[in-house]
């Protein structure tokens, strides 16, 4: 008999007149492929449908626009646009046909309208409105909303909700958090009005309440309304958790699910989207504080995805529902795996923020570990190959593993050879590093999935031309990776010098003071790793900047932690000249010589493709593909993406 390993997570919950089939919901994760007119696309339908098919109890479509003055991101569904109903209806159907509750988030971005939009797509002349006059980054200003305008916006939420109900949505989410319009009114830091919409907490809550009432009047009793709010604003003069609890008590009778997130938009982005440096479930305490004081079911969100922790959240009564955004980009099937006792198969989110950055930078969607994301529609039509082939993969890093797994899942017979005694390649540097837990776990997951898919994994076997000839595969995928660039300076081969890849093996034996040579992302992360183990790390960088190669969302968080939390010495514009028993010698600008007195030096001066090793495997099989770092050193996202597509090409 089947016994659920996570009984609380697997249990249903009645919300208004719908039933959530389990306690795991897909939080809004704005999908950018929307037409310029704000209409739903087939790609978008496929994106949300995958989440529903993956077993999420409810799937919330992101940030739909209720009023022309409230556009948040470049591409949002415009619920006021002509012809939007057809796509909306297909979208709701695609979610519902998998048993998930179809929900949609209604939003107005207030003073931040037109801000998070790439140049060229932004309406530079657009006026922004909020509770009070506000100065914005870039010297722009927002105007104070008149009461007539407020009434128009309140009505727009009701109209939008009615349209969504007509399209077949089972539920709506009102976005009252993350620093958008409704929170701007709630916030004592932003709302300076002297009329019925400002001043006391009750008056600041008035807009939220009018919007909820407008939506309720439009959708009728029983139709579930979820209200998303931030449990704290965490900014100067912002509201705190006690204020949030008091607000929750004001609205609880009007709604069916209270969704407690955190933070105020760009002011504290990493509170709303906890980075890889934050613990799992870092915002649960906010939901728990609210839940203690209200009867309405409460949802929590933020850095969730670990089944044991999520089970405990529900079992302990800290919250009634757990919501996930990024964890379901990495693995849309996570809820299904949890309820069917296959949690070991979950592919973890790295919290690298690639997904978020790309939306802002390029208006596209991509995930570092899941190459299907952003291409769900196209992936639906992938057919198994006409004839299964014998495929040899040389190299067990992220690209090789992804290629091997994808090829095996498509029905090919795959052998993967890795010359070292362990899989993982460059990801192995994340071993025992707390903030790299998920990328290290990627190795475990891929190994498990490869074995389930029937890949023959051979460790300690280097693919040589002779081996290729003896196996005689139909296709060879070369994924032999990269190697460290070792600076050509005296002492670089000394006993006190290690590469960043070797750091996990030697870290416990290192002395107190360690220099990291190279201030790119790998060097910065090595320095942080050293600091976490109590070492005094000094980062020494030849160029003027640190971590210029990091994702622009991740970089400021990393640099702030290095500086403010760990006080890591960061020395830019320093050219290393030698390593000796005394430490690292460098030249500063204007010829000043410096000695960093350290016990050891970690080299993180960049990687280079193993070109010769890759070239040696050319023209040995009818089909050969070169993937990952051996072509060009990039990141896990590129390695996975290329490995996946090379296997689809077979």
Ligand X SMILES: Cc1cc2nc3c(=O)[nH]c(=O)nc-3n(C[C@H](O)[C@H](O)[C@H](O)COP(=O)(O)O)c2cc1C
Quick one: 22 or 261, whose CB is closer to ligand X? Answer: 261
Q: Report, in Å, the least distance between residue 349 CB and ligand X.
A: 7
Residue 54 tokens read as 């993956």
By C-beta, is 359 or 436 nearer to ligand X? 359
- Looking at the Cβ atoms of 328 and 468, the one nearer to ligand X is 328
And the tokens for 348? 């973890």
Tell me whether residue 228 or residue 642 sits nearer to ligand X (CB atom): 228
- Distance between CA atoms of residues 120 and 157, nearest Å: 28
Give the integer Cα–Cα distance in Å for 406 and 422.
20
522-527-529-534 Cα dihedral, nearest 10 degrees: 170
Please report how close the Cβ of residue 62 comes to ligand X at its closest, in angstroms. 3
Q: Compare residues 176 and 519 and give the one whose CB is closer to ligand X.
A: 176
Q: Report how far residue 325's alpha carbon sits from residue 632's, in angstroms, rounded to the nearest whole number.
A: 31
In the complex, minimum distance from the CB of residue 552 to ligand X, in angstroms, rounded to a whole number: 14
Q: Where would I find the H helices in 300-367? A: 307-315, 327-330, 334-339, 354-362
Q: What is the DSSP letter of 565?
A: I
**Least Cβ distance, residue 525 to ligand X (angstroms):** 20
Using DSSP's 3-state secondary structure scheme, residue 229 falls into strand
| Cβ proximity of 395 and 630 under 8 Å | yes
Q: What angle do CA 306, 310, 315 make, to 5 degrees?
A: 150
- CB of residue 275 vs ligand X: minimum separation in angstroms? 9
Cα–Cα dist 365/387, whole Å: 32
Positions touching ligand X (CB under 6 A) are 27-30, 62-63, 105, 175, 178, 228, 261, 272-274, 301-304, 324-327, 355-356, 359
Pairing state of beta strands 58-65 and 101-107? parallel
DSSP 444-498: HHHHHHHHHTT-EEEET----HHHHHHH--SEEEE---EEEPPP--TTTTSTTEE
Instruction: Report in angstroms how near the CB of residue 184 gets to ligand X at its nearest.
Output: 15
Q: List the structure tokens of 363.
A: 């208006």
Q: How far is the CB of 276 from ligand X (least distance, A)?
A: 11
In angstroms, what is the minimal distance from the CB of 44 to ligand X?
12
In the bound state with ligand X, the residue whose beta carbon lies nearer, of 26 and 463, is 26
Q: Which is nearer to ligand X, 301 or 338 (CB)?
A: 301
Whether the CB-CB separation of 108 and 131 falls below 8 Å is answered with no
CB of 263 to ligand X, least distance (A): 9
Please, are residues 410 and 648 in contact by the beta-carbon 8 Å criterion? yes
Q: How far is CA 261 from the centre of its chain?
A: 15
Distance CA 189, CA 184 (A): 8
Least distance from ligand X to the Cβ atom of residue 171, Å: 15
Query: Which of 359/585 has CB closer to ligand X?
Result: 359
Residue 137 DSSP code: G
Question: Helix, strand, or coil here: 129?
Answer: strand
Closer CB to ligand X, 95 or 301, in the complex = 301
Nearest to 25 by CA among 40, 9, 41, 46: 9
Shortest spacing between CB 406 and ligand X, in angstroms: 24
Q: Which residues make Cβ contacts (< 8 Å) with residue 466, sequence separation at least 6?
A: none
Q: Closer to ligand X at the Cβ: 178 or 555?
A: 178
**Residue nearer to ligand X on the CB measure, 84 or 429:** 84
């Amino acid at each position: 008999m089947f016994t659920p390993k996570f009984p609380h997570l697997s249990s249903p919950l009645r919300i208004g007149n719908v039933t959530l089939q389990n306690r795991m919901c897909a939080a809004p994760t704005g999908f950018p492929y929307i037409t310029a007119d704000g209409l739903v696309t087939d790609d978008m339908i496929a994106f949300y449908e995958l989440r529903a098919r993956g077993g999420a109890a409810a799937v919330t479509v992101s940030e739909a626009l209720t009023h022309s003055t409230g556009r948040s991101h470049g591409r949002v569904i415009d619920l006021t646009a002509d012809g939007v109903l057809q796509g909306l209806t297909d979208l709701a159907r695609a979610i519902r046909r998998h048993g998930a509750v179809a929900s949609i988030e209604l939003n107005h971005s207030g003073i931040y309208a037109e801000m998070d939009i790439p140049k060229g797509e932004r309406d530079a002349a657009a006026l922004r409105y909020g509770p009070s006059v506000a100065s914005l980054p870039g010297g722009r200003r927002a105007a104070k909303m008149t009461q007539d305008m407020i009434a128009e916006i309140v009505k727009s939420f009701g109209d939008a909700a009615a349209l969504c109900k007509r399209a077949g949505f089972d539920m709506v989410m009102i976005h009252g958090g993350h620093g958008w319009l409704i929170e701007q009114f709630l916030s004592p830091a932003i709302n300076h009005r002297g009329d019925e919409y400002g001043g006391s907490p009750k008056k600041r809550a008035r807009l939220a309440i009018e919007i909820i009432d407008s939506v309720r009047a439009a959708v009728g009793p029983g139709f579930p309304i979820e209200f998303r709010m931030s449990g704290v604003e965490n900014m100067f003069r912002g509201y705190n958790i006690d204020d949030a609890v008091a607000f929750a008590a004001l609205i609880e009778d009007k709604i069916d699910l209270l969704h407690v997130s955190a933070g105020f938009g760009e002011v504290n982005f990493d509170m709303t989207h906890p980075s890889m440096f934050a613990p799992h479930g870092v915002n649960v305490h906010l939901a728990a504080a609210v839940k203690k004081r209200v009867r309405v079911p409460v949802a929590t969100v933020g850095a969730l995805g670990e089944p044991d922790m999520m089970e405990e959240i529900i079992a302990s009564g800290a919250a009634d529902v757990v919501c996930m955004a990024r964890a379901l980009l990495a693995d849309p099937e996570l809820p299904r795996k949890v309820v069917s006792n296959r949690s070991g198969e979950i592919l973890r989110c790295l919290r690298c923020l690639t997904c978020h950055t790309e939306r802002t930078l390029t208006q596209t969607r991509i995930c570092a570990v899941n190459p299907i994301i952003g291409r769900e529609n196209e992936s639906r039509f992938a057919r198994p190959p006409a004839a299964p082939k014998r495929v040899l993969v040389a190299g067990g890093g992220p690209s090789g593993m992804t290629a091997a797994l994808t090829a095996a899942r498509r029905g090919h017979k795959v052998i993967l050879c890795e010359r070292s005694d362990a899989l993982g390649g460059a990801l192995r540097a994340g071993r025992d590093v707390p903030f790299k837990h998920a990328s290290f776990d990627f190795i475990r997951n891929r190994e498990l999935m490869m074995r389930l898919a029937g890949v023959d994994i051979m460790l300690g076997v280097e693919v040589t031309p002779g081996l290729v000839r003896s196996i005689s595969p139909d296709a060879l995928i070369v994924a032999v990776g990269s190697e460290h660039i070792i600076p050509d300076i005296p002492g670089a081969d000394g006993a006190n010098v290690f590469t960043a890849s070797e750091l996990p093996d030697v870290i416990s034996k290192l002395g107190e003071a360690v220099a990291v040579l190279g201030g790119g992302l790998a060097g910065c992360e090595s320095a942080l790793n050293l600091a976490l183990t109590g070492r005094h790390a000094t980062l020494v960088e030849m160029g003027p900047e640190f971590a210029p190669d990091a994702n622009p969302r991740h970089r400021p968080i990393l640099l702030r932690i290095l500086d403010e939390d760990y006080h890591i010495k960061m020395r830019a514009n320093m050219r290393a000249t030698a390593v000796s028993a005394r430490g690292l010698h460098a030249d500063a600008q204007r010829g000043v010589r410096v000695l960093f007195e350290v016990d050891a030096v970690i080299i993180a001066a960049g990687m280079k493709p193993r070109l010769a090793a890759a070239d040696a495997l050319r023209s040995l099989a009818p089909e050969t593909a070169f993937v990952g770092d051996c072509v060009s050193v990039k990141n896990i996202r590129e390695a996975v993406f290329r490995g996946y597509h090379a296997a689809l090409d077979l």
